[in-house]
Amino acid sequence: MRTDVIKTYKDVHSWVGIIAGLALFIAFYAGAITMFEEPLNRWASAPARIAAPVPLERTPELVDKVLRAYPEARAAYTVHLEPGPDMPARVSWTTGNRRNPGPTYLAALAPDGTLQVVEQQASPVAQLIDVLHQQVGLPFDHEISMPIMGVISLLYAVAIISGLIVLLPSLVKDLFALRFGKNLKRMWLDLHNVLGLFSLPFHIIMAVTAVIFAFHDQIYAVQGAVQQIGAPAMERRGAPPGGPAEPPALAEVTGTLPPAELQRRLAGTLPGFELRTISFEYNAKEGPHGHIAGIDPRYGARAPTYGMGEIDTRTGAILEADYLPGRQDGWFATVTSFFTLHFGSFGGAPVRWAYFFLGLAGAFLFYTGNLLWIESRRRKERKAGAVEQTRATRVLGALTVGVPLGCVAGISLTIAAAKWLPAGTGALETWHSAIYYAVFLAAVGWALVRGAARSGAELLWLSAAATALVPITTLASVATGTGWSHDGASRLVDLVAAIGALSLAIMARATHRRAAGGPRDSIWSATPSAAPAPMAASATAGARVSVR
């Protein structure tokens, strides 16, 4: 391959990576955390104080009391076939609509048979992290952020292709080369190449599926206009986003099969499908109907946890199977594969852990990409006789430190705050968002003021402390009697956070040593370089000596 061709692709790879890399760090770091959204939700949410769920056979009695006492539940309520720590009730319903959901209520029968209803105090912190992942950290409305994310994903795809072309000539020679030493550029290049090459299939999947998600509505609109297909079945049927303005009469929502009977019939219709929930719904257009959700270990699912289908709740017949694993046509199976591959909703826990580590490795890949550009720029400036770093290099170095570490510290601190923020205020989402963006913006500002060298170690110590607050919060809240600790979920979240805090602390010490003893003409050095000797000064034609 000609040298000029490689140089062209190298330039494309560098600039595209610089433009998209910082946003992609946020997407990958937050995305890695969302692989364990359920344990994180459980860790952050106070356990509901409600009676034990009734046996499935007594569900009709519970439902009858709910529908008589709470007419707003008649439009849509859900029966949970396998209650557990995440959903401790047999019956639940949500007020509001899909665009503006209200609180979720849980229903149970007290030991004396009376109806017991409580509002679920679910923490929104996991949802916030998922939104950061989807919108690459942008604080705008979803409709604005998603097209921007789509453009960044397209740049991401260009960076993948150009980077692979640049690596091809030296692929065999440098594949397993990891040269650690004083040559920082070579070290970062080796790490960058190894991470990028061995996770290449994962990155191709992420880039392609992210583009599909970003322009999801536009793609469906075009296909709907041309072929009258593509829109999800529930949307084509015209189901309203929420319940009707007035609750339906009790007589209109009765006559459905008991959940136990529906479960029995569906087990015969869908062998191998593990039914988790049945939603009973009503609207004037369709009458009584419902949706089922569950998993089939033999297939991937559209959502991280469930496949879905629409049923007739009076007969158990399946009305729509577009999202049911194993029952989809070719078009919907193809669409589902994009969701399955992106969310890692196949293969169980091993795949989720693999996606978690690949997400963290991907975030580090974008970080090393910026480091490579900075080190390359330093060498070019040195050859040109310059000793002082340019403003563009200093700013990029500060952003390379501030954006990733601001994201890490902000996410850790807003997670730790989940057990201390007052529940039931209706403003928890605002609180969590404010905590994250306050820490994130403060970290970026600090890096720009202090410079990459000094702020690198300082912000790493901040990130380590913020991450350590997660397990410390659990211990403190339990010790003071003001918090809670869920078995399993708390151990997983706290253990991962403790390992993360230790890793960040080790990196902080290494960064401090590099700032004190690294090359003085690097932006990663906090020690100003000495003034040049007279002969060197004349040779460099008055080059400046300050590294900052």
Say which residue, 452 or 98, is predicted with more confidence.
452
Query: What's the rounded mean pLDDT across residues 231-237?
Result: 41
The answer, yes or no, to whether residue 184 has pLDDT greater than 70, is: no
pLDDT tens digits for range 495-548: 999 999 999 999 999 888 888 876 666 677 776 554 444 333 333 333 333 333
Structural contact between residues 291 and 280, judged by C-beta atoms closer than 8 angstroms: no
Say which residue, 417 or 478, is predicted with more confidence.
417
Q: Which residues contact 398 (CB under 8 A, 6 or more apart)?
A: 444, 447, 448, 450, 451, 452, 455
Q: Which residues contact 363 (CB under 8 A, 6 or more apart)?
A: 24, 25, 28, 29, 32, 404
Rounded to whole angstroms, the Cα distance separating 502 from 468 reads 8
To the nearest 10 degrees (0 to 180), the angle between helices 349-383 and 3-34 is: 140
pLDDT bin (cut points 50, 70, 90) of residue 48 is confident
Query: What's the rounded mean pLDDT across residues 46-72?
Result: 93
| One-character DSSP codes across 237-260 | TT--SB--SSPPPHHHH--PPPHH
Choice among 21-30, 42-51, 435-444 with the minimum mean pLDDT: 42-51
Report pLDDT for 61.
95
Structural contact between residues 233 and 310, judged by C-beta atoms closer than 8 angstroms: yes
Report pLDDT for 172.
57
| Best CA proximity match to 286, nearest among 320, 262, 258, 261 | 320
- Count CA within 13 A, CB hemisphere, residue 130: 15
Report pLDDT for 547.
35
Going by the DSSP 8-state scheme, the letter that residue 171 receives in this structure is: H
CA 437 from chain centre, in angstroms, equals 16
Rounded to whole angstroms, the Cα distance separating 229 from 479 reads 57
Report pLDDT for 304.
66
pTM across the whole model: 0.84
pLDDT bin (cut points 50, 70, 90) of residue 486 is confident
Q: Is 72 exposed, middle or buried (0-12, 13-18, 19+ CB in 10 A)?
A: middle
pLDDT bin (cut points 50, 70, 90) of residue 356 is very high
Report pLDDT for 230.
44
Choice among 23-32, 108-117, 382-391 with the minimum mean pLDDT: 382-391
pLDDT tens digits for range 413-440: 999 999 888 765 568 889 999 999 999 9
Positive or negative torsion for Cα 206, 462, 142, 352: positive
The answer, yes or no, to whether residue 216 has pLDDT greater than 80, is: no
Rounded to whole angstroms, the Cα distance separating 26 from 135 reads 9
Query: What's the rounded mean pLDDT across residues 206-221?
Result: 83
Residue 76 in tokens: 């849509």
Structural contact between residues 387 and 529, judged by C-beta atoms closer than 8 angstroms: yes
Rounded to whole angstroms, the Cα distance separating 188 from 306 reads 40
| Best CA proximity match to 185, nearest among 367, 362, 375, 39 | 375
**CA end-to-end distance (rounded Å), the chain:** 39
Query: What's the rounded mean pLDDT across residues 56-80?
Result: 95
The answer, yes or no, to whether residue 298 has pLDDT greater than 90, is: no
In terms of DSSP bridges, do strands 101-109 and 318-320 run parallel, antiparallel, or are they unpaired? unpaired
Q: Is 246 exposed, middle or buried (0-12, 13-18, 19+ CB in 10 A)?
A: exposed
Say which residue, 461 or 383, is predicted with more confidence.
461
Of the ranges 189-198, 383-392, 524-533, which is most confident?
189-198
Alpha helix segments (H runs only) across 241-388? 250-253, 259-269, 330-343, 349-383
What average pLDDT does the structure give for the chain? 83
CA distances (Å), origin 521, targets 93, 384, 545: 62, 13, 8
Rounded to whole angstroms, the Cα distance separating 390 from 375 reads 12
Side chain identity at residue 84, one-letter code: G
Structural contact between residues 278 and 82, judged by C-beta atoms closer than 8 angstroms: no
Report pLDDT for 217.
75
Report pLDDT for 521.
64
Going by the DSSP 8-state scheme, the letter that residue 417 receives in this structure is: G
Residue 429 in tokens: 């989402």
| Best CA proximity match to 77, nearest among 307, 313, 270 | 313
Structural contact between residues 411 and 34, judged by C-beta atoms closer than 8 angstroms: no
